Amino acid sequence: MRITTKGRYALKAILYLAVNAQGVPISIKEISAVQKISPEFLEQLFFKLKKAGVISSVRGPGGGFSLARPLDEVTVKQVFDAVGEGLDLTPCTSCNDETPVCTEHDECLSFDVWKAAADQIQNYFGTLTLKMIVDGKARSFFDPAKESLGA
């Protein structure tokens, strides 16, 4: 698994809003300049993030974007999902009833390894909120020395 530019930039831009918006919408132009992301690319990402209800917008002079929900209600997984960033490790971990990729996972000894790892990643990003990141708790949130996230 590799988080693409789309996912990394979406998270960067959302975190910029989280830290700097404080009730005042921020323009794509400002975010683009500070975060060094092309405004065209940001527009594409923000369209998807707005459609998913992660951010909201205000038109006109002084308009821009802000978070649609409190920081503790937005997870990194929601941001990634909104922009179409997949978190699957292997094709077999992206299987579901509608798109079965692997028909032999019942007999595959390595399937459980990939599934368990994928579940940990999904759980981590699905639990990690913007507030935790802003508060500096992203790194300490997952400590491999502690009990498993899935337990």
Residues 40, 25, 6, 86, CA torsion sign: negative
C-alpha 126: how far from its chain's center?
Answer: 8
pLDDT for res 151: 43
pLDDT along the chain (151 residues), means of 10: 89 94 88 95 96 92 90 95 85 63 72 86 92 87 55 43
Both tokens of 93, joined, read 């971990």
pLDDT for res 70: 93
3-state secondary structure of 24: coil
Strand partners, 55: 67
Task: Round to whole Å and give the CA distance between 88 and 81.
Answer: 12
pLDDT for res 90: 76
In the chain the domains, ranked by start, together with CATH numbers, are 5-137 (1.10.10.10)
- Please give the radius of gyration of the chain, using alpha carbons only, rounded to the nearest integer: 18
User: pTM for this structure?
Assistant: 0.82
pLDDT for res 60: 84
Both tokens of 103, joined, read 């028909």
**Contact between 67 and 134 (Cβ < 8 Å):** no
Both tokens of 64, joined, read 């821009």
